[in-house]
Amino acid sequence: MAMLKMEDWYDLARETNWTPSYVTEDELYPEPMAKTFGIPIEEWEKFDEPYKMSYRDYVKMQRDKDIGAYSVKAALSRSNFFEKASPHWKALLALHFSVVCWAEFHSASSFARQTRFGRSPGMRNMATFGTLDEMRHGQIQMFFAYEFLKHDAVFDWCHKSSKTENWIPISLRHALDDIAHTRDAASSAIMLTMGLEAPFTNLQFVALSADAAKCGDHSFATMLQSIQTDEARHAQIGEPVLRIMIANGQKEEAQRLVEIAFWRMWKQFSVLSGIGMDYYTPLEHREGSLKEFMEEWVIGQFGRTVTSVGLDLPWYWDILHEDISTFHHAQQLGVYVYRALQWWRPIACVSPAERDWLEEKYPGWNDTYGKCWDVVIENIKNGDFEKTVPKMPPLICNMCGLEVAGGAGNQWKPVNYNLDLEGRRYHFCSSVCKWIFEEEPDRYKGHRSIIDRILDGTVPTGPDGIFDYMGQSEPERGVDGYDYQWINGYETSSEAAE
């Protein structure tokens, strides 16, 4: 029997906004989950998928992708790549897998929400495939990560980290819960695709894949590419939703959702991709700096997407321009000096040659963040290891959950963004994180950062209190990945004076 071509049946099969007979429309689509923004259903039905696909074609395509990625892994599994990899690459793999695997798996829940409660049939179709995509991303990454478990117990954290109260998962969960898991279907669709996937997954999956291939980690590179092709497809849900919102008088709300989600994800990726690209990737394999990728792919390409769809550039675009050269350098310092609070083995990545690269990519680096590293290096050289770990806990932003850090060294610039509400003071890393809080204080005011939990007694006292609370037994507390050998090549100031 001859089969119909997809274009002959697709539009008819898409008409699934049926009239319910057993329940009311409101019961089927409760407002908190299926908010319409006052836009009539006929308008939502105009959603036209930029990428149309049948389930049969989807399964075939995904099966081929899996075969590709798993067979590269199988062919290379005996090459002992991991055992020969440098502490640089091991730290990068540990960081990537232990925050990305579960975040991907959780995304399936956000797409399932869009599938069940989206008002546009076309959006529901695309989100169904998005749900399946994200399950695959969670599973394939967990499988690839667990290959290394026999070499290194740190990969236990690829799954475990999401279940702990370690400060990094708290920060990431807070951001993802906000944009993807606690809002109505249309808002989640806009925030997840236009705040995370369209602007940022390229950084971690395309740029890192290029670095991985240069490093000889071909199975990681192939896996990352196979994921990014899914991201590029399902991220296209966002644009038609935005166009419907804008055409029906909801531009202001759409703009606000994109601005909140984009900033929240920028803060997360600045740490994940920023440390990954500018520090953990071995010098000889670096493709470009975070700043370069951000300027080209995010500020440039994503910026053009935002304006072409009919929105304005976010109000904080100038602040972002500055932030791409600063924030992640401060975070890398924090991750290294508070290394026991990380589950992997953090590395400094500021050898003389690496500093030259940083200075070239970020003119003034030596005069600012380099000044802080000078102190760390001097202390290590003198054997004062305990002085390389600050006595005081850092101030944590009550929005992004990351360290509050300003300009350092000779360009000292303190940060002071706070707000008093109902007898409590909230601190922020930036005017943008503060603005997000002020947009919906009731949504955010109940959250307690890890520092709030230390101060209010939630975290047990005693030397192991914070580690017990964060799920870190003694071998799960970060130590210098190079055992301080990276400072070879530096002279102490007394040697230099001789």
Q: Report the interface residues with Mn ion, using CB under 5 A.
A: 104, 134, 137, 197, 231
Least separation in angstroms between CB 280 and Mn ion: 21
Q: What is the 3-state secondary structure (H, E, C) of the chain?
A: CCCCCHHHHHHHHHCCCCCCCCCCHHHHCCHHHHCCCCCCHHHHCCCCCCCCCCHHHHHHHHHHHHHHHHHHHHHHHHHCHHHHCCHHHHHHHHHHHHHHHHHHHHHHHHHHHHHHHCCCHHHHHHHHHHHHHHHHHHHHHHHHHHHHHHCCHHHHHHHHHHHCCCHHHHHHHHHHHHHHHCCCHHHHHHHHHHHHHHHHHHHHHHHHHHHHHHCCCHHHHHHHHHHHHHHHHHHHHHHHHHHHHHHCCCHHHHHHHHHHHHHHHHHHHHHHHHHHHHHHCCHHHCCCCHHHHHHHHHHHHHHHHHHHCCCCCCCCHHHHHHHCCCHHHHHHHHHHHCHHHCCCCCCCCCCHHHHHHHHHHCCCCCCCHHHHHHHHHHHHHCCCHHHHCCCCCCCECCCCCCECCCECHHHCECCCEEEEECCEEEEECCHHHHHHHHHCHHHHCCCCCHHHHHHCCCCCCCCCHHHHHCCCCHHHCCCCCCCCHHHECECCHHHHHC
* Closest to Mn ion by CB, 63 or 443: 63
As measured in angstroms, the least distance from the Cβ of 325 to Mn ion is: 28
C-beta closer to Mn ion: residue 104 or 217: 104
- Is 194 or 405 the residue whose CB approaches Mn ion more closely? 194
Residue nearest to Mn ion (CB): 137
Minimum distance, C-beta of residue 162 to Mn ion, in the bound complex (Å): 15
| Distance of closest approach, residue 296 Cβ to Mn ion, in angstroms | 21
- Rank residues 231 and 323 by Cβ distance to Mn ion and give the closer one: 231
Q: How far is the CB of 118 from Mn ion (least distance, A)?
A: 16
Nearer to Mn ion, 175 or 333 (CB): 175
Q: Shortest approach of Mn ion to residue 119 CB, angstroms?
A: 21
Residue 133 C-beta: closest distance to Mn ion, Å: 6
Given the complex with Mn ion, which of 45 and 197 has the nearer CB atom?
197
Tell the smallest beta-carbon distance from residue 140 to Mn ion (Å): 10
Q: Tell me whether residue 134 or residue 480 sits nearer to Mn ion (CB atom).
A: 134
Q: Select 114 or 281, whichever has its Cβ closest to Mn ion.
A: 114
Quote the least distance from Cβ 195 to Mn ion, whole Å: 12
Nearer to Mn ion, 231 or 480 (CB): 231
